[in-house]
Amino acid sequence: MDPQNILLKAVELSKDRLEDPEKKNSHPHKPLLKHVEECSEVVRFISGKYGLNVQFSLAICALHDIGKLRPEWSIGIKEGHSREGAAIIEKIKEELREELGFNEGEMNLLIFMIKKHHSSLKPDNYMDFKSLSWLKEKKEACLYADSFGAFKLADFASANGTVEEMKLRFEGGWPDIESLRKLIKNLREDKWRKQVELVSNNNIDLAAPTGWGKTFVGVLKALIDRPLKLFYCLPTITAIRKMKESLERIMGEEVGEYFYFSDVDLLGDQGETVEGSNEERLLDFYRLFLPKVNLTTVDQLILTLIRAGKYHMKRLCFRDSVVVLDEYHLLPAPMIGALSKILEYYRDVYNMRIVLMTATPLGPYRRILRDSLGYVSTFDLTGEYRSLRRHKFSFIGRDEALNKLEELYKEGKRVLVIMNTVDRAIDFYKKVKGERLLLHSRFTVKDRLRKEKMIDDCRILVSTQVAEVSLDVSFDSLITEVAPIPSIIQRAGRVNRYGNKTESVNVFLVDPPHHEPYSEIELKYSRDTLYDLYKELEHGEEAVLRMLSEYEKLIRETAEREINKARGKIEELLEDHLFSKDMDEIDIVRKLRGDPSILVIPSKYEDEVRKLIEMMPRFSYLERMKIYSKIKGYLVPLKFSLAQSFMNRENNFLFPVVRDFEYSEELGLYRYAT
């Protein structure tokens, strides 16, 4: 039955007093019947692309807003129509079920989804659980939830006047591989042929040296496979932004970015723009994973697939997709465990093709991720380290580091300096003369984004672990504190990145004054390994493989224990197949990352943020979204152990304010004594 006729039939069957859906507006200047028509158009399109249950989605399109036909409802009333609509259908469900051809379980699910169509799919009571207890098979449950997701995207498009644009987001094609080839720097023909060969496989596990050219392998996989969407999970915001800039050259608006601070990045200084601006529209599309290419984080991948919040509007986009996990070795063991269980759970239902990529492969991580994928083609190209002589290491004293930097700078070298803690990076930076830039984690989001744009042109970059990976830039020399072996390899990977051989020392190792933020045993073991093997790098980077092997012996047992523990916890979250999970999204990511950091507001910006918070209740949803993005622009990550003694959290503040810290755009957040 046509959705419009379904609505008309429901109105006819109902004993409630309902108004004419051809005349009563459900949205400004749009009668309900027109809204149903537009929703149905989009649902048919999306369902056809993804093979969803189109009849079930169309039934929700037809009936979701029937509660708006009550005489007491009018535009501007935000609450009530969902529950009232479900109550109307509950009274006529047997008669309507016969018209729709649904079984009893489908009818109960339809009513539940009408009731919850403006919220997460969380059951309100025991009856919700009981009425849906028939839906036990995973594949079937995913199909119904994703069919609801297709309806929600259609509802969103009709309500916002973006019906045609929504359809285009599921229609666009892929460029040819030659357009990608032109983007890749210093590309050798033999390497290009190797990349084309390996992406012809289904699931791929690729390990290759830093600078080998892994970055675009996942994109090449998508251009050859031509999936419905590509999800590229990158470890840092810097990497996401740089990848976006590159891919926009061949994909245009088909490239989107979504991470916790993406609204700050996208809206920037657009806080005073009018509602419906292009930036706001794009942000909505990005957060729903609607672009052809979605650059995001593993955090967002996990949250969507464990059904956090309104997952149903995003999860369906993972059907028939390519998912790239770049530099996955940087993830903590609990997150690897969670990721492996989730991929194992969804791999067959969603036909996701996974590309695993790393420069520093660790056995426990690789094994569990490969096992979770079933069949996977492994390409271990780390043997190519043997032919490289890009780095020569040397140990120098702490008091020599500044003089060495000045010497290298005078020689015209471009130098990267990495310290293991923010405080030491700030202290060192303040002593440096010349064209320098400081980058670490304790900047506000807006200041960090500004600084990241300056990296390509800076002569001296003083940084912390934030510069270890995914910076497609090459420095001439590195001065770094000793860190765990994988970190040292990644840091060295920013030096002479595209060269083959160096005749002079270009990596200078400095012993840190204490082991933090790493464990004492981890740092001691890494330092001892470096002392034993660093001279072997002069004969080839095969020593890197020996370093990794020695490091893996240290962490294997602990890593496997943490991986298995996380897998067990995630398995519990996936069990019921359908309902949204009642969870604090930030909290669950923090637990998986083992990250004791929290987001705080420097006291310098307290008054500004207070004014923004006080403004929020007076504005519409879109205006509140812009204000909230401004507030997020003032946030700084700070270790909880450091923050708890200095922060003040009032009931009306969204984030804690830290005292006894200074903040500047040049130095970031630092203690007064620094």
What CATH code is carried by the domain that includes residue 202? 3.40.50.300
Looking at the domain assignment, is residue 546 inside a domain? no
Six token digits for residue 518: 């790493």
Cβ burial, residue 343 (10 Å; 0-12/13-18/19+): buried
Looking at the domain assignment, is residue 584 inside a domain? no
Is the distance from CB of 629 to CB of 267 less than 8 angstroms?
yes
Q: Assign 193 a pLDDT band (cuts: 50, 70, 90).
A: confident
Q: Which among 422, 447, 449 is positioned nearest to 671, based on CA atoms? A: 422
Give the number of other Cβ atoms within 10 Å of residue 291's Cβ: 23
Looking at the domain assignment, is residue 545 inside a domain? no
Residues 161, 182, single domain; the answer is no
Residues 186, 323, single domain; the answer is yes
Residues 317, 366, single domain; the answer is yes
Residues 421, 355, single domain; the answer is no
Residue 273 pLDDT greater than 50, yes or no: no
Residues 159, 200, single domain; the answer is no
Calculate what percentage of the chain has a pLDDT beyond 70.
Answer: 93
Domain boundary among 107, 137, 169: 169
pLDDT of residue 240: 85
Residues 265, 156, single domain; the answer is no
Six token digits for residue 409: 């700078």
Lowest mean pLDDT segment, chosen from 331-345, 450-464, 540-554: 540-554
Q: Assign 132 a pLDDT band (cuts: 50, 70, 90).
A: confident
Residues 339-385 pLDDT 10s: 999 999 998 899 999 999 998 888 899 999 999 998 899 898 887 78
Residue 268 pLDDT greater than 80, yes or no: no
Residues 395, 308, single domain; the answer is no
Q: Please state the domain count of the chain.
A: 4
Looking at the domain assignment, is residue 559 inside a domain? no
Residues 341, 411, single domain; the answer is no
Lowest mean pLDDT segment, chosen from 61-75, 204-218, 454-468: 204-218
Residue 571 pLDDT greater than 70, yes or no: yes
d(CA 315, CA 144): 12
**Phi-psi category of 374—alpha, beta or left, where left has phi over 0 and alpha has psi -120 to 50?**
left
Instruction: Look up residue 656 and give its DSSP letter.
Output: P
3-state secondary structure of 134: coil
Q: Which among 306, 296, 368 is positioned nearest to 565, based on CA atoms? A: 368
Lowest mean pLDDT segment, chosen from 355-369, 557-571, 601-615, 626-640: 626-640
- Rounded to an integer, the average pLDDT of 171-177 is 87
Q: Which among 229, 56, 86 is positioned nearest to 148, based on CA atoms? A: 56
Residues 295, 349, single domain; the answer is yes
Q: Assign 276 a pLDDT band (cuts: 50, 70, 90).
A: very low
Residues 515-552 pLDDT 10s: 888 888 888 888 888 888 878 877 777 788 888 888 88
pLDDT of residue 275: 44
Residues 535, 643, single domain; the answer is no
Residues 347, 475, single domain; the answer is no
* Mean per-residue pLDDT over the chain, rounded: 87
Q: Assign 390 a pLDDT band (cuts: 50, 70, 90).
A: confident
Looking at the domain assignment, is residue 553 inside a domain? no
pLDDT of residue 270: 44
Lowest mean pLDDT segment, chosen from 8-17, 249-258, 542-551, 646-655: 646-655
Domain that holds residue 196: 177-382
Q: Assign 665 a pLDDT band (cuts: 50, 70, 90).
A: very high
d(CA 623, CA 168): 26
Looking at the domain assignment, is residue 115 inside a domain? yes
Q: Assign 274 a pLDDT band (cuts: 50, 70, 90).
A: very low
- Rounded to an integer, the average pLDDT of 191-217 is 87
Looking at the domain assignment, is residue 471 inside a domain? yes
Q: Assign 438 a pLDDT band (cuts: 50, 70, 90).
A: very high
Q: Assign 281 a pLDDT band (cuts: 50, 70, 90).
A: low
Q: Which residue has the tokens 């309900």?
A: 32
- Rounded to an integer, the average pLDDT of 164-193 is 85
Residue 422 pLDDT greater than 60, yes or no: yes
pLDDT of residue 302: 93
d(CA 57, CA 53): 6
Close Cβ partners of 44 (under 8 Å, ≥ 6 residues apart): 54, 58
**β 377-380/204-207 pair status:** parallel
pLDDT of residue 385: 80
Domain boundary among 140, 169, 198: 169
Q: Assign 514 a pLDDT band (cuts: 50, 70, 90).
A: very high
Looking at the domain assignment, is residue 465 inside a domain? yes
Q: Which among 393, 632, 386, 358 is positioned nearest to 531, based on CA atoms? A: 393
Domain boundary among 539, 559, 588: 539
The model's pTM: 0.86
Residues 478, 508, single domain; the answer is yes
pLDDT of residue 314: 94
- Rounded to an integer, the average pLDDT of 257-278 is 59
Taking each helix axis from N to C terminus, what angle separates 485-492 and 542-574, rounded to the nearest 10 degrees? 120
d(CA 146, CA 268): 33
- Rounded to an integer, the average pLDDT of 26-44 is 95
Q: Which among 464, 468, 459, 467 is positioned nearest to 414, based on CA atoms? A: 459
